[in-house]
Structure 1
Amino acid sequence: MSKDIRVRKGLDLKLKGEADKQLVQAPQSAIYAVKPTDFHAVVPKLLYKEGATVKAGEPLFYSKYDEKVKFAAPVSGTLVEIVRGAKRKILEVHIKPDGTNEAVNHGKLDPATAGADQIRETLLESGCWPFIIQRPYSIVANSEDTPKSIFVSAYTTAPLAGDAEFIISDRMEAFQAGITALSKLTSGAVHLGVKKDSALTSVKDAVIHKVKGPHPAGNVGVQIHKIDPINMGERVWTVGAEDVVTIGNLFLTGTYQPERTVALAGTDVAEADRKYYRFIAGANVNTIVKNVNTQKTRIISGDVLTGDKLSNDQYLNFYHNTLTLIPEGNEYALLGWLPFTRNSVPSNAGTSLAKLFGGKKKVDTNLNGEERALVVTGEMEEVMPMNIYPLQLIKACMSGDIEKMENLGIYEVAPEDFALIDFTNTSKLEAQETIRLGLDLMITEVG
């Protein structure tokens, strides 16, 4: 039986450049990368040196603070380079595929009959554990924790983001196996958020929630807040829809197969190329996007509100299902600061005709103003569907006041929940960055 959730506050950004629901098998990448920087708060400890030969699913490094959590090679081949940054920080581990994709076999396992300890150990040894993200803090889950519930969102509301339900629609057996496996790891329930007319309502071993409302209704943080809020000392886990498929495949086949289906979207993508591309996780951007002039075009791993800026030769984020290309905001409109002069730009402001008239808009990276000491009362609350005070929480994070952060709901939020505030707030402050710094302080001081 499903339970409905209605989200009233928020904002749907209707943008041009959406990917058509056509699935294409992408060519193999020349190099694959596993990036420790994708896993926030993880300090990697390498297991191999350059020149080593590895199989798919073989651990490349583990977490310094939780040695059971291992990060595996997505393909078989040769470890050709370890990219380091300042103070020899490990940024990327590069693997050149050998074409065979020989994988470590962990043995098939029926999650319906397997015990929780057996499932946990298989996930840790295979490299699938990093798919499990814990709230609070939005970091890779601790291997010793038992969450009070697990959340999976198959409802996508972020602008131009890949449709989660379409991405998993041809692999429902693996998705069901993954849900069943996850249900053994919690003392509570697995909660699956879906759209109103979803085909996923028949999924077993999960409580189905039909979610309706504008973005960020599809964010797991909003769904957690509505269904099973987090209190101090509690843990809730979240897993992406396609990551559930990868977990399910592990039990069905015995091997680690980190496929990533990416929606190539944005107005700077040729219309014929706006499709869904499936390849092995860790592929280079130039596998599906070539010869982009980054002076004119922004390449974003993820959606336009929360994604990471990339160059032509970088690699997709471990968790992202969207690659967005939009114009750089380096062209300025004459007197663009005046009301009613930029009506083709998406806006939540009452002085813009774009809010009054429908239709999809073209977006670029222009901030349309600089950061300023200006706060409009009630502006942030308009797009924040959670029962918290966003402005006060941001201020508490800026000042490092741990007690106020706790009282104002820091345990319930992640940076992505503040993405619309970044977009709509008049002061142009970086709300997501501020919340991330606040969460990092809580990890250090509270744990």
Structure 2
Amino acid sequence: MPTPRPWPQAVETVITTEAGLNLDPLIDIRMEALVQPGDTVALGRPVLKDRRRPELLVTAPMGGRVVQLELGAGRRQASLLIQHDEKVRPHQFDVRDARRECERGSGGPALRDLLQASGMWMRFRSRPFGRVPAGYAVPALIMVMAIDTKPLAPDPCLALKGETLDHLKLGLQALATLFDGPIRFCQDDGPAIVEESDRIRIARAGPLHPAGLAGSFLRREFRSGQNLNIWEISAEDVVGIGHLLSEGFLPATRLVSVAGPGLRETRLVRCQPGADLRELCHAHMKPGPHTILSGSALDGREARWLGWRARQVTVLERRDTKPQPHWLESALRRASRPEPVIATSAVEHALGGAMPGMALLRALAIGDDETAAELGALSLLEEDLALVDYVTAASPRFADLLRACLDRIEAMT
């Protein structure tokens, strides 16, 4: 049996002074700013939209004043910084039509409009390719993720209690109203969190990583192809949908773990999306240099702000003091073929044991996209190969090779 996670009983609520936009790299949108520096925005007010798909909106993670807004190259990434002002009340949405649709259990145009206007639509992620689905798209299956087996990740069940559980049920009802396909509620092997129905089925997995990844559930039940459109969303985001329908505004916080060897203590906090990681961590760090990751030690990214889908913060002690290699040497190494990988059971287990692992890695290494697709690459995203990269220490990383493969296949579709 694995050692239980050393989580404290109490959950702190921390609203950092500033919050910044830290979008997932896979959110490929050409942004148009809807606010300017100096504007006061409410939680849930739209601040950015996609110029190509204007129904895709990014909303403010908290109420306050916009102190910085910059668009990057190609309008793909933004530097959006908001300073908290507790006097600014959340943006109130008109949810009456959407609630009526949920009560009828059919239709859903008002509900779809509400999810897009509130920015909750941006919380969906589709497979293959890992993009935010188009505003008119319909999935063949929705996977609601109420399990996370990444190292030091918080147990999502901790956020699904009491009134929150009622919001979860309302959010699931909304998904069942909006889409006709089945819903898989993915959880641990404990007691059922929700009741099964004709549309909602529970899928279970054990506590060992990577069993709790959406890709692992997907490979056990399906073999995703280009024509199989499967969406995933976290259970806490489904809670957010239910909270929106019940209260008329978005929830202000999400459950996040703050852990790692660079900290004196492990903490569970409720903070706003895009929270300032330095403010969350600095008072609890051990002496010495550190690296703060938004995400897990396997696939997290060094960042100042909490990532778009991140549910954990990992603080590592920085022990490597060697000088960085010359840029030309690094470029040549990245351009070379991967070093040989020894076929071991660890590599197979890192992929969940549900596909021919070594054959897939070989196809990715030589750029054989057709074979990789036949072996199940279309059911994977970078997070599904993060443990493989940790086990093999391969260079280039297999997660990067997978992304290049998926991008090439997507470009041909």
Structure 2: how far apart are the matches of 1:89 and 1:189? Answer: 33
Aligned to 1:60: 47
Cα 1:294/1:40, change in 2 over 3 Å: farther
Letter in 1 for 2:141: S
Alignment of 1:28-43 (within 5 A): 28-43=15-30
Partner of 1:407: 374
2:128 is the counterpart of 1:123? no
Ranges in structure 2 where 5+ consecutive residues have no aligned partner? 323-336
Equivalent position SS for 1:420: helix
What amino acid does structure 2 have at the position aligned with 1:376?
I
Change (3 A) 1:326 1:19: farther
Q: Kindly tell me: are residues 258 and 389 of structure 1, through their superposed partners in 2, closer, same or farther at Cα, counting changes over 3 Å? A: farther
SS of the residue aligned with 1:68?
A: coil
CA distance in structure 2 between the aligned counterparts of 1:217 and 1:278, rounded to whole angstroms:
25
Q: Which amino acid aligns with 2:341?
A: V
1:330 counterpart = 2:320:
yes
In the alignment, structure 1 residue 307 sits paired with structure 2 residue 320:
no
Partner of 1:214: 208
TM-score, structure 2 normalization: 0.85
Paired residue for 1:23, among 1, 11, 17? 11
Q: Give the letter for the 2:176 counterpart.
A: S
What is residue 81 of structure 1 aligned with on the other side?
Answer: 68
Q: Deviations over 1:311-367 (max 9, x none)?
A: xxx1100211111112224289xxxxxxxxxxxxxxxxxxxxxxxxxxxxxxxxxxx
Deviation at 1:60, TM superposition (A): 1.0
CA 1:294–1:182 in structure 2 vs 1: closer, same or farther (change >3 Å)? Answer: farther
- Counterpart residue number, 2:238: 244
- Paired residues, what number? 390
Aligned pair in 2 of structure 1 residues 198, 304: CA closer, same or farther (>3 Å)? farther
Unaligned runs of 5+ in 1: 1-11, 333-370
Q: Secondary structure at the match of 1:238?
A: strand
Shift of 1:106: 1.8
Q: Hey, what's the Cα distance between the residues in 2 that align with 1:210 and 1:86?
A: 42
> Are the structure 2 counterparts of residues 228 and 281 from structure 1 closer, same or farther at C-alpha, using a change threshold of 3 Å?
same
* 1:148-170 deviations in Å (ceiling 9; x for gaps): 11001212221111111112224
- What one-letter code is carried by the residue in structure 2 that aligns with 1:125? A
Asked if 1 retains the 8 angstrom alpha-carbon contact of 2:288 and 2:317, the reply is no
Q: Residue 139 in 1 paired to residue 126 in 2?
A: no
Offset at 1:264? 1.2
| Aligned match for 2:273, one of 261, 276, 281 | 281
2:407 equivalent in structure 1: 440
3-state SS in 1 of match to 2:269: strand
Letter in 1 for 2:318: E
Q: After TM superposition, give the deviation of residue 203 of structure 1 in Å.
A: 6.3
Conserved? CA contact 1:112–1:181, under 8 Å: no
Which residue does the alignment assign to 1:166?
158
Letter in 1 for 2:187: V
In 2 relative to 1, CA 434–19 (structure 1 residues): closer, same or farther, beyond 3 Å?
farther
Structure 2: how far apart are the matches of 1:442 and 1:329? 39
Contact 2:26 2:130 in 1 (8 A): no
Do 1:107 and 1:255's aligned partners in 2 also have CA atoms closer than 8 Å? no
Partner Cα separation in structure 1 for residue 249 and residue 213 of structure 2: 29
CA–CA separation in structure 2 for the residues paired with 1:246 and 1:304: 27
Q: Following TM superposition, by how much is the alpha carbon of 1:62 offset from its aligned partner in structure 2, in angstroms?
A: 1.3
Which structure 2 residues correspond to residues 185-224 of structure 1 after superposition, within 5 A? 185-202=178-195, 206-212=200-206, 214-224=208-218
- Partner in structure 1 of residue 251 of structure 2: 257
Higher helix share: 2
SS of the residue 1:94 aligns to? strand
Q: State the one-letter code of the partner of 1:82.
A: L
Compare 105-114 and 46-55 and name the one that shifted more. Answer: 105-114
CA distance in 2 between counterparts of 1:315 and 1:93 reads 11
Does the Cα contact within 8 Å between 2:220 and 2:354 map onto a contact in 1?
no
Q: Deviations over 1:110-152 (max 9, x none)?
A: 3343532222111011111111111111121222211111001
SS at match of 2:242: helix
Deviation at 1:74, TM superposition (A): 1.7
Matched-pair contact (CA < 8 Å) for 1:33–1:315: yes
**Offset of residue 216 of structure 1:** 0.9
CA 130–77 in structure 1, closer or farther in 2 if over 3 Å, else same: same
The structure-2 alpha-carbon separation of the partners of 1:387 and 1:302, relative to structure 1 and needing over 3 Å to count, comes to: same
2:23–2:308 Cα contact (<8 Å) kept: no
CA distance in 2 between counterparts of 1:212 and 1:87 reads 42
Structure of higher RCO (CA pairs closer than 8 Å, 6+ residues apart):
1
- Name 1:335's counterpart in structure 2: none
Preserved CA contact (<8 Å) 2:262 2:286: no
Q: C-alpha separation between the residues in 2 aligned to 1:67 and 1:317?
A: 23
Mean alpha-carbon deviation: is it higher for 222-231 or for 399-408? 399-408
Distance 1:386 1:325, change over 3 A: same
Deviation at 1:92, TM superposition (A): 1.9
- The match for 1:366 is none
- Provide the C-alpha distance between the structure 1 equivalents of 2:52 and 2:252, rounded to a whole number of angstroms: 24
Output aligned runs, 1:344-359, within 5 Å. none
Shift in alpha-carbon separation, 1:392–1:62, aligned structure 2, 3 A: farther
What do residues 211-266 of structure 1 show as CA deviations (whole Å, max 9, x unaligned)?
23621111111112212432321201100121111111111111122522111111
Counterpart of 2:339 in structure 1 is 373
Q: Residue 30 of structure 2 contacts residue 75 of structure 2 at CA under 8 Å; is this kept in 1?
A: no
1:39 positional shift? 4.9
CA distance in 2, matches of 1:388, 1:373: 22
Separation in 1, partners of 2:412, 2:157: 38
1:401 CA drift (Å): 3.8
